[in-house]
Amino acid sequence: MASTFGLTLNEWQQRYQQEPQQIYTLLQTHLAALNTQDNAWLYLATPAQLNAQIEPLLASYLRNPAALPLFGVPFAVKDNIDVAGWPTTAACPAFTYTAEKDAFVVAQLKAAGAIVIGKTNLDQYATGLVGTRSPFGAVCNTFDADYVSGGSSSGSASVLARGLVAFSLGTDTAGSGRVPAGFNNMVGLKPTKGWFSASGVVPACRLNDTISVFALTVEDAFIVASVAGGYDADDAYSRHNPHTAPASMKAHPDFAIPANPEFFDDAAAEGAWDQALEALLASGATLHPIDFTPFEKLAEQLYYGPWVAERTVAVGEMINRPEEMDPVVHGIVSSGLKYSAVQAYEAEYLRAELTRQIQQTLAQFDALVVPTSPTIHTQEEMKQEPVHYNSHFGYYTNFTNLADLAALALPAPFRNDDLPAGITLIAPAWHDRALADFGLRWQQQMALPLGATGRAQPAVHAALPVSTDHVRVAVVGAHLTGMPLNFQLTTRQAVFVEETQTARCYRLFALLDGPIKKPGLMRAEQGSAITVELWDIPLARFGEFVAEIPAPLGIGSLTLANGRVVKGFICEGSALNSALEITEFGGWRNWLAAQGSN
């Protein structure tokens, strides 16, 4: 039987399409091939636990395959996230309990057909960006065992980078879903806070925690995120998507970058960053150096101020049992006891002020691009400076959740010592899809091997799932790119998709009254194909857009040449009696051009 290591979601799905019943054999064989001595795993499913997950899925899949988009796909769960009937340790044996039910996100993924294959190692209580603070042992970097894997989601990163699962769940408070991605050449999706429920997750900093996704490709990461995310009334910090963010990123984005990036004297990291900047420019992006000071100041707050007291709250009574905790972790969380309530409020005011500065800066750009980490250290170096060197790793990550931002860590040009060095895109909350859209293009451009598997990028064209958060609108005249009313789209975060044509059943007219010439489109049995532009507009902004459309125009349903039906401009029939028919020109631009030549 061909190996199932290193498969993407699509490749797993292809294995099942012809013979779904082979799910038992495939997954049992896959499980048996995993090394029980691999300390990236803290718990592996038993054959019985595997079958218990498979049995109810197979019958459902045979009835309706589309209802289980992740059917039979194995995934790993960081061991601070609950899986029903399995132990949760948070890498602290004295804390261990057996989960009564699945975490909300795990339940979402299981309901889509995914199979939990095991639970993974982590920095104790998710406190660290290193992967060395676990009583179960340090998790090695998948490219060089002398180096750290990154943490705290070290085990989930390791098993994913080696292709032992199709995706894995981490958590990300200060960068734990991004730093390990950068150190192991893979994708780390840190969603907007509140998109993923935290129900069933052992908290680290409850106000700033989120589950994260590791995957070999951006496409896989976003598909998983789309399944896992959703509002959960049982989580006080769960949020509804406001449906105001763009659906994608423009073809030639404007990216902010730090004006004076910090690498802590790591020339190899700086060289990799320079290569990444060259690749960004080659992709068509424009780079804008900015003052990084507010980001740096906010990043410092997470560990070097009252915010660390959130971690003190999270460990509860274990704070009084230092002999049963990792000494570095205990030292960090116990430091929260020295801060007063007054200092906590002062810290929140400072966070809000810095966040406002950051968000005003980012509003001018499509995203901020930073090195995922400014440097990397060996395991031996981490023993010498466990706190100071850990802080290096958080330089470009710690501020993200404090400022309510979305982030996507991406593989990027390697260092000259053959270690991975990724980049991270950061944007305002709910811009997750736009980041993924660029991430798809970037990953295809880079064409790096998948994780540490050595496998090449899939040959198939990657695409994001169809968005339910946006309305696709066909515009035919004054709202076209470069036309007088196009701003009514762009100021509402609408994004250009493509130029295409209607079905051959429309007539086009010029409405010549008023300060701006406009076309009127009418459906007719005897018509022609008319050129239109398609734009995706955020669902919450669609009503505003429609409200600005004056009579006799309106929005209805428009049939395109390929049979798709989208929303589009239509015109009241009575207004066309005195209008000039221009159908023969095939589109508004053609008619305007003809007028200019006369």
Catalytic residue numbers, as ranges: 78, 152, 176
510: nearest Cα among 576, 412, 433, 436: 576
481: nearest Cα among 587, 598, 595: 587
Helix 47-63 × helix 23-32 angle, to 10°: 150
Cα angle: 157, vertex 161, 162; to 5 degrees: 120
Cα-Cα-Cα-Cα torsion 298, 435, 225, 86, nearest 10 degrees, comes to: -40
DSSP 455: P
Distance (Å, whole) CA 357 – CA 346: 17
Whether the Cβ atoms of residue 51 and residue 24 lie closer than 8 Å to each other: yes
Distance (Å, whole) CA 122 – CA 137: 9
Cα angle: 13, vertex 18, 24; to 5 degrees: 70
394: nearest Cα among 182, 597, 559: 182
Cα angle: 295, vertex 296, 298; to 5 degrees: 65
Q: Which residues pair with 508 in a beta bridge?
A: 521
Q: 155 CB contacts (<8 Å, ≥6 apart)? A: 39, 40, 41, 42, 76, 78, 79, 120, 121, 122, 131, 139
Sheet of 518-523: strand order equals 518-523, 506-511, 580-581
Whether the Cβ atoms of residue 43 and residue 79 lie closer than 8 Å to each other: yes
- Per-residue 3-state assignment (H helix, E strand, C coil) for 542-596: HHHHHHCCCCCEEEEEEEECCCCEEEEEEECHHHHCCCEECHHHCCHHHHHHHHH
Judging by DSSP bridges, how do beta strands 506-511 and 553-559 pair with one another? Answer: unpaired
DSSP 201: B
Question: The tokens of 495 are what?
Answer: 């994004």
Q: Percentage helix, strand, coil, to 5, in the chain?
A: 35, 20, 45
DSSP 100: S
Question: The tokens of 286 are what?
Answer: 């424009």
Q: Which residues pair with 538 in a beta bridge?
A: 470
Instruction: Using alpha carbons, list the distances in angstroms from residue 288 to 260, 328, 362, 396.
Output: 12, 39, 11, 17
Distance (Å, whole) CA 254 – CA 281: 10
Distance (Å, whole) CA 550 – CA 528: 25
H-helix or E-strand spanning residue 54: helix 47-63
Residue 260's CB: how many other CB atoms inside 10 A? 8
SS3 3: coil
435: nearest Cα among 262, 210, 159, 225: 225
Question: In Å, how far from its chain's centre is CA 405?
Answer: 11
